[in-house]
Amino acid sequence: MADRRLAKKIWKYPNRLIETRTENPDLIQDIWDGKLCDHLQCTGLLDIRHGDLGFLFSTDEVKLFNRGYFSVWPLLIVNYNFPPDEHVKEENLILAGVITGSNQPADMNSFLQPLINEFHTLEKGISVWDAYRQQDRMLWGFLFTIAGDQPAREKLMGILGQNTKYYCGYCKIKGVWNRHNYCCFTTPTDAPDEVLRHVANPLKLPLRTNTEHRKDAHYIMDTNDKEYREQTGIKELSIFLELESVVFPWSFGIDIMHLLYENIVKQMFNHWRGKFFIHEKTEETGSKPQKFKQSGEPYCIPKAIWLQVGKVMKRSQHTFLGLFDDAV
């Protein structure tokens, strides 16, 4: 906060969002406008107008070389007080540490404890010189969100995750077992007879809550109740439970890259081409499964249209913004 330019930027951006939202309450421009920050303000923990800091923590396994198994887990901190076009720039990122090794960290909490201790201190407040306001003042900082791909997120949340009965970290819907755990809103018609059938409304799912998660996690830690662990889908006590600002599961959002670009877009592309499903092994297809050819279903986009889309995209290459890098 001793740098006047940075101190001004850190204070002005969140407050500018508040002023805009006062005029348009339904407008959401950044995390400061979301339900999480609203909740933290209602509890009295967060005071945006005072100049409190908000952070995102992100980690994931990164393989450094094409050969071998050596990888690292960078522990990155993003400052939400910078505007979105600035807070992920290299000079504004905070590298809190790097976990190295050929295997995944067996005890992730041991590496994160020093970071959690720092956030404990920031939650209580520290005295700083504010170069923008030209005065000593108390500064509070809070960890809002924790980001990563699904396996990393499950590890950081301390949940059992995918391929288990209660696989979802956000709701309490139950999976259906049929040679593997199947995640569905409606029980398949060919499910085994012993499977308890259900139909879930995706708009009214039984959501997990912060209070319930914290209570269940501490109970499992104190009792080591394996049956209750399977019923709740909670594996262990997450180290992030030590922070008041972390709200389970709101603080563990799915980022747009893993939610859409690395997942749904690719799957929907195959689905619209009629190539999503795979034939069962039969005498006609042989021992090797074959993907469907164009099935003629209403959702399938004809080959001629795909070719037309490709030609249009090729012609439009010269209009792509340089900001998005070279056209492929």
The DSSP annotation for 36-100 comes to HHHHHHHTTS--GGGT-EEEEEE---EE-SSSSS-EEEEEEEEETTS-TTTTTSGGG-EEEEEEE
Q: Which pLDDT score, from 0 to 100, does residue 319 have?
A: 76
Count Cβ atoms below 10 Å from residue 233 Cβ, excluding itself.
23
pLDDT at site 81: 94
Per-residue pLDDT, 148: 86
pLDDT value for 308 = 92
288: Cβ contacts below 8 Å, ≥ 6 apart: 281
Residues β-bridged to residue 173? none
Written as one string, the DSSP assignment of 84-147 is TTTTTSGGG-EEEEEEEESS--S-HHHHHHHHHHHHHHHHH-EEEEETTTTEEEEE-EEEEEEE
pTM of the predicted model over 0.85: no
Q: What is the pLDDT of residue 289?
A: 47
What length does the chain have? 328
Structure tokens at 113: 């404890």
Question: What are the domain boundaries of the chain?
Answer: 4-153, 159-237, 262-324
- pLDDT computed for residue 294 by the predictor: 55
254 alpha-carbon distance from chain centroid: 3
Give how far the C-alpha of residue 291 lies from the chain's centroid of Cα atoms, to the nearest Å: 32
Q: For each of the chain's 328 residues, which pLDDT tens digit applies? A: 788 888 888 889 998 988 888 888 888 889 999 999 999 999 999 999 888 999 999 998 888 777 777 788 999 999 999 998 898 899 999 999 999 877 778 888 899 999 999 999 999 999 999 888 888 999 999 999 999 888 888 989 999 987 788 888 999 888 877 677 777 788 777 776 666 677 788 888 899 999 999 999 999 999 999 999 988 999 999 999 999 999 999 999 887 777 777 767 777 887 787 776 654 444 455 555 444 455 567 778 888 888 898 899 888 877 776 655 566 5
In DSSP terms, which residues pair with 143 in a beta bridge? 55
